[in-house]
Structures are given as structure tokens and as C-alpha cells.
Amino acid sequence: MKAWRDQILRAGRTIMPTPEGKVGILVDRPIFVGIASGGMFAGDKANQPDFLTPYLSAALGCIGLKTVHYLPLQAAAFMDEASVIERRHSLVATIEPSMASI
């Protein structure tokens, strides 16, 4: 993750240093992040802390990408293959309405 971040957060390429602090120079656009997890990291039944989504939101926000949509496929370890496929299809179907506003 750090290697990815070091390649994405680049002074003069994606971040411009200013006297007021760093400013992201990319034009905001929708970003869709698919997350597959064996356990639960969000919601009422979360059994582990969610470190990923706040970290990615902060990293992408630094470069100007603030419209981030997460597609979490949680508890996959407790589902049969058909349920995982069905859930994945339903998550992907949520992308189209988000794209209509672009």
C-alpha cells in the first residue's frame, strides 16, 4: 500500500505544494473501489476496524479525487460461491446510477 501511495502522491504531478499547504491538481471524477473481505469491516456486525476506506479517501482526496464510491463485498468467507457472485453483481449494478450524474 505504501509503494502504491508513493507512486500516486507525487509532488508536481498530482500534488502542488503551496504556501497554504498541498493542493491536489487532478480534476475530481468518480472513483469506484471494489473491496472484497472475508469478514465484516463496516456496519452493525463489523468485527474488525475499517482502516482501508478512510485511508484511501484521504490519499485520493490529497490529489483532488474526492468523489469516491466504495463497493464492499463483506463476509465473503461465510458465503457460498453463488451468494458471492450475486452480491458482486448487485454491487456492480450500483455503479450505473452513480455514472448518470456525470
pLDDT at position 45: 78
Segment 53-73 shows an average pLDDT of 92
pLDDT tens for residues 29-54? 999 998 888 777 777 777 778 888 99
Confidence of residue 100 (pLDDT cuts 50, 70, 90): low
pTM for the full model?
A: 0.74
pLDDT at position 48: 78
* DSSP code per residue over 30-86: -EEEEEE-SS--SSTT--S---HHHHHHHHHHHTT---EEEEEE--GGGS-HHHHHH
Task: Using alpha carbons, select from 10, 60, 64 the residue that is nearest to residue 32.
Answer: 60
- Select the more confidently predicted residue: 101 or 10: 10
